[in-house]
């Protein structure tokens, strides 16, 4: 098939993508309720205490069950990964790349099945779900490509100019050890495979802990890893509560590095904890965002509104890249707002596995309760133009459906201009100049993504002044969303990230390795 699925192309895929997804979905629904084990070395471990995966589309649907891992399971998984590290790290890098490519292919072969699971487990529409899984594949393949291009990051340096001896110098990038990967609910495939791919290709072994709200897709990917034939202990998989299992992993002295994707509060806490150990250990953080789009008076209003709508309400606003703030030059403010409201009211809401529905559910009851809390606040301090309510009519009654919401007239001093809600809510205000808009856009602790709609010349000014790691100019498919490995590397500045090297970019793999300078001296006779 010549069609390549990305976040830019998923809006209009060939019909075979829909028919293949529907076939996989129907088959998957006949297999609900499977009990997935912990994977520790070559052991598949089952526990007395388990927890169910309930679909946010219909809370009566039990999708699967998972083990509640504990501190002992954490100890055992780290021990297995540590035991596997010497052999795995000493494999020629070409062999590690071959394993990871097999892993990617095994996921690719099951893209429609895993995509259907993502829809049921997270509430994503079918194309968002399929894009998540396809991105997982591409994020596994990307570090393989980077490793090959760098020839294993083994570089011959100049020889020392020493008389009577030959001093040969090299620089080698080498792995750290056991790498912990902690993932969020919203991209269960991509945000697991991105750091795992980097860690494995670099020569680290992995302990993966997914979010409990979306463990199903990662469990299926562990089946793909098993098919790829990784040696025992190279990838270990743990499910369970963050308060016990997660903390036991983070506190473990044999964890050599960690990738955490999630809230800034938790991620920065991990960073501080890692700084308290005997010596520094690498921390790769992919954290929250409070992402702005600036709309110029010179923008195409229809395109600007469409790009903002897609980024604000894709995945029900549950993206760290979601467009939650929009600053519009006053001359076009009214026209822009009217078009944004019109487009938002046209959004098809319902079971996201159905082809016609673009907008699905929030992830859990806590998120739905937060939505109601914020709506109550906005009704006091601003004006809701559309949305602002839970949707409970008919088939929506058993799910977690929250209407896409546009809010205006909120004072710029209000804390919600700077607080990440992670919900289908966006705030809009008029500004008197692009400079004023830029001041507001940068006035936040976050610096993840940002968008601009206007002239090409203004776009260059925007890129030179915005404080964000991922920037888009005139992107109609999503004004602040849509990163893809090899095309738009993804990572944040300020409180949105830690390394300054974006996932899916040319430098990401370096975050999972450390440099060793090697000098060999011999006497010249």
What SS3 state is found at 64?
A: strand
* Distance separating alpha carbons of residues 60 and 79, to the nearest angstrom: 38
Q: Which residues are paired to 157 by β-bridges? A: none
3-state DSSP call for residue 188?
coil
pLDDT of residue 202: 98
Q: Architecture of domain 19-287+500-518 in CATH?
A: 3-Layer(aba) Sandwich (3.40)
Q: Of 297, 260, 249, 255, which Cα lies nearest the Cα of 279?
A: 255
pTM above 0.85, yes or no: yes
Secondary structure class of 59 (helix, strand, coil): coil
Q: How many CA atoms lie within 13 A of 417 on its CB side?
A: 21
Contact 209, 192 (CB under 8 A): no
Secondary structure (DSSP) of 401-454: EE--EEEE---TTSGGGTS---SSEEEEEEES-HHHHHHHHHSSSEESEEEEES
> Tokens standing for 126?
């079918």
* CA-closest candidate to residue 38, choices 210, 186, 177, 196: 210
In this chain, the answer to whether the domains covering 19-287+500-518 and 291-485 adopt an identical fold is: no
Give the pLDDT score at 1: 59
Query: Can you give the pLDDT of all 525 residues of the chain as single tens digits?
Result: 578 888 888 888 899 999 999 999 999 999 999 999 999 999 999 999 999 999 999 999 999 999 999 999 999 999 999 999 999 999 999 999 999 999 999 999 999 999 999 999 999 999 999 999 999 999 999 999 999 999 999 999 999 888 888 999 999 999 999 999 999 999 999 999 999 999 999 999 999 999 999 999 999 999 999 999 999 999 999 999 988 899 999 999 999 999 999 999 999 999 999 988 888 899 999 999 999 999 999 999 999 999 999 999 999 999 999 999 999 999 999 999 999 999 999 999 999 999 999 999 999 999 999 999 999 999 999 999 999 999 999 989 999 999 999 999 999 999 999 999 999 999 999 999 999 999 999 999 999 999 999 999 999 999 999 999 999 999 999 999 999 999 999 999 999 999 999 999 999 999 999 999 999 999 887
Look up the CATH architecture of domain 291-485: 3-Layer(aba) Sandwich (3.40)
Sheet holding 34-36, edge to edge: 34-36, 62-67, 50-54
Pair of tokens at residue 493: 């500045």
Using only C-alpha atoms, what is the Rg of the chain? 24
Q: What is the dihedral of CA 491, 492, 496, 497, to 10 degrees?
A: 70
Among residues 224, 308, 320, 402, the one annotated as catalytic is 320
N-terminal to C-terminal alpha carbon distance within the chain: 62
Among this protein's residues, is 320 annotated catalytic?
yes
C-alpha–C-alpha distance, residues 31 and 33, integer Å: 7
Tell which phi-psi region holds residue 313, choosing left (phi > 0), alpha (psi between -120 and 50) or beta.
Answer: alpha
Measured between alpha carbons, how far is 203 from 196 in angstroms, rounded to an integer?
11
What are residue 231's DSSP bridge partners? none
- The ranges assigned to domains in the chain are 19-287+500-518, 291-485
Question: What gap in Å lies between CA 178 and CA 200, rounded to an integer?
Answer: 10
CA atoms within 13 A on the CB side of 430: 11
**Catalytic residue (choose from 113, 128, 135, 286):** 286
Tokens 């789009």 found at: 293
Two tokens, residue 151: 């020839």
> 322, 294, 277: which is closest to 448 by C-alpha?
322
Q: Count the neighbouring beta carbons within 10 Å of the beta carbon of residue 522.
A: 9
Distance CA 171, CA 493 (A): 29
Token representation of residue 431: 């500004």
pLDDT at residue 95, as a whole number = 98
């Amino acid at each position: 098939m010549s069609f390549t699925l990305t976040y830019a192309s998923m809006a209009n895929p060939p019909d075979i993508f829909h028919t293949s997804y529907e076939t996989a979905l129907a088959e998957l629904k006949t297999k609900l309720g499977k009990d997935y084990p912990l994977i520790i070395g070559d052991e598949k471990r089952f526990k007395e205490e388990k927890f169910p995966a309930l679909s946010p589309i219909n809370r009566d649907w039990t999708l699967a069950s998972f083990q509640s891992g504990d501190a002992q399971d954490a100890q055992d998984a780290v021990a297995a990964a540590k035991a596997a590290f010497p052999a795995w790290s000493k494999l020629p890098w070409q062999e590690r790349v071959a394993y990871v490519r097999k892993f990617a292919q095994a996921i690719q072969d099951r893209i429609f099945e895993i995509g259907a699971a993502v829809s049921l487990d997270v509430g994503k529409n079918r194309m968002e779900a399929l894009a998540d899984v396809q991105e997982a594949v591409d994020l596994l393949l990307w570090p393989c490509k980077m490793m090959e291009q760098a020839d294993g990051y083994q570089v011959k340096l100049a020889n020392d100019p020493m008389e009577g001896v030959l001093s040969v110098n090299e620089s080698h990038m080498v792995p750290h050890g056991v790498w912990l990967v902690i993932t969020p609910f919203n991209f269960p495939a991509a945000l697991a495979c991105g750091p795992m791919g980097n860690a494995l290709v670099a020569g680290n072994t992995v302990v993966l802990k997914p979010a409990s709200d979306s463990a199903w897709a990662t469990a299926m990917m562990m089946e793909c890893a098993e098919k790829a034939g990784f040696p025992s202990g190279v990838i270990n998989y743990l499910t369970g509560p963050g308060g016990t299992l997660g903390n036991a992993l983070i506190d473990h002295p044999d964890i050599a590095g960690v990738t955490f994707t999630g809230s800034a509060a938790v991620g920065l806490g991990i960073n501080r904890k890692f700084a308290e150990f005997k010596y520094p250990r690498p921390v790769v953080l992919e954290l929250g965002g409070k992402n702005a789009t600036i709309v110029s008076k010179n923008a195409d209003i229809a395109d600007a509104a469409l790009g903002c709508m897609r980024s604000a309400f894709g995945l029900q606003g549950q993206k760290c890249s979601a467009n939650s703030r929009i600053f519009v030059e006053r001359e076009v403010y009214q026209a822009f707002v009217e078009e944004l409201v019109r487009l938002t009211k046209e959004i098809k809401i319902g079971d996201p596995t159905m082809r016609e529905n673009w907008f699905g559910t929030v992830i859990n009851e806590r998120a739905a309760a937060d939505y109601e809390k914020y709506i109550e606040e906005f009704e006091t301090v601003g004006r809701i133009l559309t949305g602002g309510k839970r949707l409970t009519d008919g088939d929506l009654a058993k799910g977690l459906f929250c209407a896409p919401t546009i809010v205006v007239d909120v004072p710029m001093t209000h804390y919600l201009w700077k607080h990440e809600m992670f919900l289908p809510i966006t705030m809009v205000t008029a500004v008197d100049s692009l400079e004023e808009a830029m001041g507001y856009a940068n006035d936040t602790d976050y610096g993840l993504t940002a968008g601009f709609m206007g002239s090409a010349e203004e776009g260059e000014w925007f890129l030179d002044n915005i404080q964000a790691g991922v920037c888009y100019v005139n992107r109609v498919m999503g004004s602040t969303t849509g990163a893809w490995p090899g095309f738009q590397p993804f990572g944040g500045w300020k409180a949105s990230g830690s390394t300054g090297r974006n996932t899916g970019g040319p430098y990401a793999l370096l975050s999972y390795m450390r440099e060793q300078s090697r000098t060999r001296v011999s006497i010249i006779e």
